[in-house]
Amino acid sequence: MSTDPIDQTARAPWLDLPADHPFGLGTLPYGVFSTEGTAPRVGVRIGDQVLDAGACAEQAGMESGEVWLAPCLNPFLAQGRPAWDAARAWLVEVLTNDSLRDCVEPHLLDLEDVRLHLPVEVADYVDFYASEHHATNVGRIFRPDSEPLTPNWKHLPIGYHGRAGTVVVSGTDVVRPTGQRKAPTETAPTFGPSIRLDIEAELGFVVGAATELGRRVSVDDADDHLFGVVLLNDWSARDLQAWEYVPLGPFLGKSFATSISAWVVPLAALAGARLPLPAQDPQPLPYLLGDGTPWGLDVHYEVELNGTVVARPEYRDLYWSPAQMLAHLTVNGASVRPGDLFGSGTISGTDRGTRGSFLELSWNGTEPIELADGSTRSFLEDGDTVVIRGWAPGPDGTRIGLGEVRGTIIPAR
Amino acid sequence: MSTDPIDQTARAPWLDLPADHPFGLGTLPYGVFSTEGTAPRVGVRIGDQVLDAGACAEQAGMESGEVWLAPCLNPFLAQGRPAWDAARAWLVEVLTNDSLRDCVEPHLLDLEDVRLHLPVEVADYVDFYASEHHATNVGRIFRPDSEPLTPNWKHLPIGYHGRAGTVVVSGTDVVRPTGQRKAPTETAPTFGPSIRLDIEAELGFVVGAATELGRRVSVDDADDHLFGVVLLNDWSARDLQAWEYVPLGPFLGKSFATSISAWVVPLAALAGARLPLPAQDPQPLPYLLGDGTPWGLDVHYEVELNGTVVARPEYRDLYWSPAQMLAHLTVNGASVRPGDLFGSGTISGTDRGTRGSFLELSWNGTEPIELADGSTRSFLEDGDTVVIRGWAPGPDGTRIGLGEVRGTIIPAR
């Protein structure tokens, strides 16, 4: 079991933070913010405030805080686990030690006064397909006459590379993509805005410490390389995807936008949320097992469309662990870099209410979803706003907040 | 027809360069080099020398040459077509004007005295599949009972994202990748070093000027965004690829290494090598056509294994044009960034001797290739060295050199 370097039950007396705040001292996520006239730099969220981490570190004489003056988390990520743990301990110290209040307080800004930016300059982005229920649903919908899972599915975490340059921060509008589609009944493709625009509720893993080309990361060493998590919405144009994806996989059906939450929650904050994986049968090859117990995460999701909660996926349902995904990604010698991001794939359970995409929720459009305003949806319309929220258990019944990832569809150009 | 901003027949009197040198004044490719104790920076190849471009520009008082002090081409790429054209004209001026000789000569280094680095910090890497003959060969080999081309193949340039972080410069050793494979006759996958390690001879296109998310690049505007070309070897582990690639495409079978030549040849240098595309039937959708004539490139290839030339692919055989690939890549609103790289896909013709992969050359191992030393190969063995060379026609029967991309296989770790 991994442990958090800090005591998650510590209190910050002068911060006046409710004990059950999802961004208490047990969370301390990192993001990138700016204010009017100042350059983007690293901030740490505490309650509904943002600590200007680099400025605070500078005033406190903490030299290694220089990396927080960068406009992205990458230099901090590159430092590796010991530095991440030390930073986390330092943050708790300055936020709880009364004698440091004068040093800290000037560097706390109200969340509503800052602008949040993409926290990470994404190096390579990989999307996995780690939910058995999601893969089964998709197989049943698209290949009703075959086995829903392909023969390789339970032997390796299937994944593919996505477009790193179109990963955007929560709140960024999503332009409806345009492209080719062809219904099975049509003889030639047609061109136009996507008519089957969808979401995929995922968890994203942010990689920190780099590796050398030709070296693998074992399952047991994954903690040295996995820095933290974001909520991830892998926007998907199902009509473009269906026509293009054979034989080389999804491309334009996905590459127009991938949204992530503004706050990267350190994996350390989720130490108490680790769970055993569901049973894996057949047993994976040794490189996917390691010496410890494969772990999943107890992260709860809420998917909201225009104010109506339409699904509550559970990350614990996933078949492959994050450490297995990283070990697989590097088993061929592929190197990782600070800022690499990989998504879990859509998180879906067995019940309709736990499915993480509209493709599954509406069962390919045959069972539209009712919203609170009386309208129905199979896929997204222009003006629709999707918000995905997540949280994990913290100590004493509190929550570790993962925040939200939000996006509104604007018409095709 | 695109034109080169310079006169490719200009001569540099004091450089003493043979008129038929493939790196004459008509080529002028950009790379990144360092010398013992100096930092990597941009160089321009002329003959068998490298011009320290930033230092020369500084001495000549050319302010915009500052971008050449960077350790990669990306800042220069970001400046866009007018700056690229101006730089090319400036280089010819300083290399041909006798009165500037004292200003230039101290900044010319012998190629053998410099170390070459990856010229571009690769942002996103996409690999296309634009050769009809290659796609047909692969279809016949892997899906002998189906139509060799999938139904979408002649409607869109099929592509997928690859791993940007494992693009390496020519000369980098390639560690044989390890992973899962399963023969159709086996009941479960096995694990080990790849036993079907292959190459793919491609042309790589380096994107310069960025676009905004949600905006497309039309076929007619492609020249504003395409900076230049590199030779590209998309190393492929066929056994890993065959087991993993359904349904989401190639992943670990490709992501362990992609090699590119050290010199990026500006597209301007290839203005005289543009050719009409082979006929496209059915006619592609309008966004893939534009107002001009779709153009291909007259680039000749030579694939050498351990000193034996095993293939001579011709880029002119490709079905989709580079401008069509870029227009397709962005038609869904996906943005591009300076340093984006896309590969053409394996370049293969109709004859055996023009196939750009060992999979095709050995017809899936059934017709091994004979080397000059009497040995045979279906796929690559440890210690094998592959060199891919390329050139295009220049003025008056000369050649525009594309240099080489070279790699040696070292044993799995």
Q: Is A331 within 8 Å of chain B by CB?
A: yes
The residue type of B175 is: V
The residue among A248, A239, A232 whose CA lies nearest residue A176 is A239
For position B1, what pLDDT does the model report?
46
Residues 6+ apart with CB under 8 A from A374: none
Is residue B183 within 8 Å of residue B244, measured between CB atoms? no
Express as a percent the part of chain A with pLDDT over 90. 91
List the catalytic residues of A: 134
Residues on chain A touching B177 (C-beta within 8 angstroms) = 332-333
The residue type of B322 is: P
DSSP labels, B287-299: GGT-SS--EEE--
Q: Do A166 and B248 touch (CB under 8 A)?
A: no
What is the maximum span of chain A, computed from C-alpha positions, in angstroms?
Answer: 74
For position A142, what pLDDT does the model report?
85
Owner of token pair 């999701």:
A301
Q: Is A235 within 8 Å of chain B by CB?
A: no
Cis peptide before B282 (omega within 30 of 0): yes
Q: In whole angstroms, what is the distance from residue A129 CA to residue A137 CA?
A: 12
How far does A412 lie from chain B, in Å, by closest CA?
8
Strand partners for B228: B206, B266
Is residue A50 within 8 Å of residue A31, measured between CB atoms? yes
A210-248 confidence digits (pLDDT tens)? 999 999 999 999 999 999 999 999 999 999 999 999 999
For position A1, what pLDDT does the model report?
46
DSSP labels, A260-319: E-S-BEEGGGGGGGEEEPPP-SSPPPGGGT-SS--EEE--EEEEEETTEEEE--BGGG-S
Sign of the dihedral defined by the CA atoms of residues B266, B268, B274, B279, in that order: positive
Whether the predicted interface score ipTM is above 0.95: yes
Is residue A325 within 8 Å of residue A159, measured between CB atoms? yes
- Mean pLDDT, rounded, for A310-329: 98
| pLDDT higher than threshold 60 for residue A188 | yes
A374-386 confidence digits (pLDDT tens)? 999 999 999 999 9
Phi, psi dihedrals of residue A175, rounded to the nearest 5°: -75, 125
Helix (H, G, I), strand (E, B) or coil at B168: strand
- Mean pLDDT, rounded, for A151-177: 98
Is residue B83 within 8 Å of residue B142, measured between CB atoms? no
Q: In whole angstroms, what is the distance from residue A130 CA to residue A19 CA?
A: 34
Is residue B131 within 8 Å of residue B319, measured between CB atoms? yes
Q: In whole angstroms, what is the distance from residue B120 CA to residue B31 CA?
A: 8
DSSP character at residue A241: H
Q: In whole angstroms, what is the distance from residue B117 CA to residue A292 CA?
A: 40
Strand partners for A31: A43
Is residue B340 within 8 Å of residue B164, measured between CB atoms? no
- Inter-chain CB pairs, A–B, below 8 Å: 193
| pLDDT higher than threshold 90 for residue A179 | yes
Which of A67-81, A290-304, A331-345, B168-182 is least confident? Answer: A290-304
Radius of gyration of chain B from Cα atoms? 21
Report the phi/psi class of residue B123: left, alpha or beta, with left for phi > 0 and alpha for psi in -120 to 50: alpha
The residue among A333, A359, A398 whose CA lies nearest residue A200 is A359
Second CATH level (architecture) for the domain B125-410? Alpha-Beta Complex (3.90)
The residue among B119, B39, B28, B127 whose CA lies nearest residue B74 is B119
DSSP character at residue B12: -
For position B323, what pLDDT does the model report?
98
Tell me the residue length of chain A: 413
Helix (H, G, I), strand (E, B) or coil at A327: helix
How far does B251 lie from chain A, in Å, by closest CA?
5
In A148-223, DSSP assigns E strands to: 159-162, 167-169, 174-175, 178-181, 190-193, 197-198, 201-207
Quick one: closest CA in A to B178, which residue?
A332
In A131-224, DSSP assigns E strands to: 159-162, 167-169, 174-175, 178-181, 190-193, 197-198, 201-207
Residues 6+ apart with CB under 8 A from A314: A299, A300, A301, A347, A349, A354
For position A364, what pLDDT does the model report?
96
Q: Output the tens digit of pLDDT for each of chain B's 413 residues.
A: 468 888 888 888 888 899 899 999 999 999 999 999 999 999 999 999 999 999 999 999 888 899 999 999 999 999 999 999 999 999 999 999 999 999 999 999 999 999 999 999 999 999 999 999 999 999 999 888 999 999 999 999 999 999 999 999 999 999 999 999 999 899 999 999 999 999 999 999 999 999 999 999 999 999 999 999 999 999 999 999 999 999 999 999 999 999 999 999 999 999 999 999 999 999 999 999 988 888 999 999 999 999 999 999 999 999 999 999 999 999 999 999 999 999 999 999 999 999 999 999 999 999 999 999 999 999 999 999 999 999 999 988 999 999 999 999 999 99
Strand partners for B192: B179
**Strand pairing class (B125-128; B341-343):** parallel
Choosing from B107, B133, B134, B328, which is the catalytic residue? B134
Tell me the two tokens of residue A407: 């996006």
Residues on chain B touching A151 (C-beta within 8 angstroms) = 182
Helix (H, G, I), strand (E, B) or coil at A33: strand
- Residue B8's Cβ-count burial label (10 Å; 0-12, 13-18, 19+) is buried
How far does B138 lie from chain A, in Å, by closest CA?
11
Scanning B274-347, the segments in alpha helix (DSSP H) are 322-330
Q: Do A179 and B331 touch (CB under 8 A)?
A: yes
DSSP character at residue B343: E
What is the rounded average pLDDT for all residues in chain A? 96
Instruction: For Cα atoms B187, B188, B192, give the angle at the middle one, nearest 5 degrees.
Output: 135
Is residue B344 within 8 Å of residue B322, measured between CB atoms? yes
How far does A387 lie from chain B, in Å, by closest CA?
21
Residues on chain A touching B154 (C-beta within 8 angstroms) = none
Residues on chain B touching A282 (C-beta within 8 angstroms) = 188
Which of A94-108, A110-124, A323-337 is least confident? Answer: A94-108
For position A402, what pLDDT does the model report?
98
Sign of the dihedral defined by the CA atoms of residues A53, A55, A60, A64, in that order: positive
**Tell me: domain A13-117, CATH 2.30.30.230, correct?**
yes
The residue type of B392 is: A
The residue type of B3 is: T
Q: In whole angstroms, what is the distance from residue A126 CA to residue A162 CA?
A: 5
Q: Do B255 and A332 touch (CB under 8 A)?
A: yes
List the domain boundaries for chain B: 13-117, 125-410
